[in-house]
């Protein structure tokens, strides 16, 4: 019996990774209106701030966020997670959501982001340009091409002709930053906003031609949103100077 229990435990651990939490819909009797925004992980800082301002502006609307990778968010909405607004880190995932008939109304671009080289503090490998990343002695970590930051990195390689041989292709920007912050990697390619958010834990090295690969963030109201006008209002709100100034402060570019 004991052995059987162990085998069961082992089988359970085979499915070891957990899903990110999905916020629950408030009960209908709640007097307060809530707006549930599913947003790309890179928007966490900026959207938390914008959410506060939106709550102040709308007097009593409560904004709830679910931050995760854009592809995860699309999958969650597809499985019926209660989202009112979807803000994606790239056009590809917004297109995926539209193709799956998850979006009501038009998608609007509200921010842009470009890549920057991140190194551990003090830049131990003396990275000064993108070309330095092609040195085989430099341990470079990129995002895998399946995720938006990796797709952007691949485009940068293509337009500049610099061939980077990464020691690891990570799942997300956070994983790339983790390897850089811990000093395991000499450099990584992440978004300008990620370098800014990491503060003194990483050193940013801007490179020429970064502006040639611009990542655009679209936002749209989700089909069957609880309150469609409120969802549409939030989408429009992101284009306002108030929200745009917050996004700029976090390093995002104008759409």
Question: CB-side exposure of 97: number of CA atoms within 13 Å?
Answer: 33
Residue of 168, 209, 236, 239 interacting with another protein (CB under 8 A) = 168
Distance CA 131, CA 89 (A): 26
Nearest to 190 by CA among 38, 39, 42: 42
Question: Is 69 near another protein (CB under 8 A)?
Answer: yes
DSSP string, 175-202: HHHHHHHTTSSSEEEEEHHHHHHHGGGS
Which residue in the block uniquely carries the two structure tokens 């390619």? Answer: 189
CB atoms within 10 A of CB 251: 21
Distance CA 87, CA 198 (A): 22
Question: What is the nearest approach in angstroms of another protein to the Cβ of residue 181?
Answer: 10
User: CB-wise, 155 or 226, nearer to another protein?
Assistant: 155
- The DSSP code for 244 is H
Residue of 45, 166, 188, 251 interacting with another protein (CB under 8 A) = 166
Question: Is 6 near another protein (CB under 8 A)?
Answer: yes
Question: CB-side exposure of 137: number of CA atoms within 13 Å?
Answer: 4
Which residue in the block uniquely carries the two structure tokens 């390897």? Answer: 179
Question: Is 17 near another protein (CB under 8 A)?
Answer: yes
Question: Is 90 near another protein (CB under 8 A)?
Answer: no
User: In 3-state terms, what secondary structure has residue 50?
Assistant: helix
Q: Considering only 30-38, 155-163, 169-177, 199-207, which stretch makes contact with another protein by CB under 8 A?
A: 169-177
Contact positions with another protein (CB under 8 A) in 181-200: 182-185
Question: Is 8 near another protein (CB under 8 A)?
Answer: yes
Question: What is the nearest approach in angstroms of another protein to the Cβ of residue 187?
Answer: 13
Question: Is 15 near another protein (CB under 8 A)?
Answer: yes
User: CB-wise, 19 or 245, nearer to another protein?
Assistant: 19
Question: Is 118 near another protein (CB under 8 A)?
Answer: no
User: Which residues would be at the binding site for another protein (CB under 8 A)?
Assistant: 2-3, 6-8, 10-17, 69, 71-72, 75, 139, 141, 144, 146-147, 166-171, 175, 178-179, 182-185
């Amino acid at each position: 019996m004991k052995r059987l229990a162990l085998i069961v435990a082992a089988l359970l651990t085979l499915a070891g990774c957990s899903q990110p939490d999905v916020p629950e819909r408030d009960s209908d009797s709640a007097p307060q209106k809530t707006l549930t925004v599913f947003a790309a992980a890179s928007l966490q800082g900026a959207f938390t701030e914008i959410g506060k301002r939106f709550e102040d502006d709308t007097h009593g609307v409560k904004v709830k966020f679910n931050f995760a990778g854009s592809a995860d968010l699309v999958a969650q909405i597809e499985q019926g997670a209660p989202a009112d607004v979807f803000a994606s880190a790239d056009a590809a995932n917004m297109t995926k959501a539209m193709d799956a008939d998850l979006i009501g109304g038009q998608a609007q671009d509200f921010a842009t982001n470009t890549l920057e080289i991140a190194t551990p503090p003090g830049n131990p490998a003396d990275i000064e340009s993108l070309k330095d990343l092609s040195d085989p002695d430099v341990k470079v970590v990129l995002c895998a091409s399946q995720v938006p930051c990796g797709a952007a990195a691949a485009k940068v390689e293509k337009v500049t002709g610099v061939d980077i041989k990464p020691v690891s292709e990570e799942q997300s920007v956070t994983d790339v930053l983790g390897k850089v912050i811990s000093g395991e990697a000499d450099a990584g390619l992440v978004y300008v906003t990620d370098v800014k958010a990491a503060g003194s834990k990483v050193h940013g090295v801007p490179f020429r031609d970064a502006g040639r690969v611009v990542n655009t963030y679209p936002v749209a109201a989700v089909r069957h949103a609880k309150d469609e006008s409120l969802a549409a209002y939030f989408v429009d709100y992101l284009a306002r100077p108030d929200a745009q100034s917050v996004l700029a402060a976090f390093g995002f570019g104008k759409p």
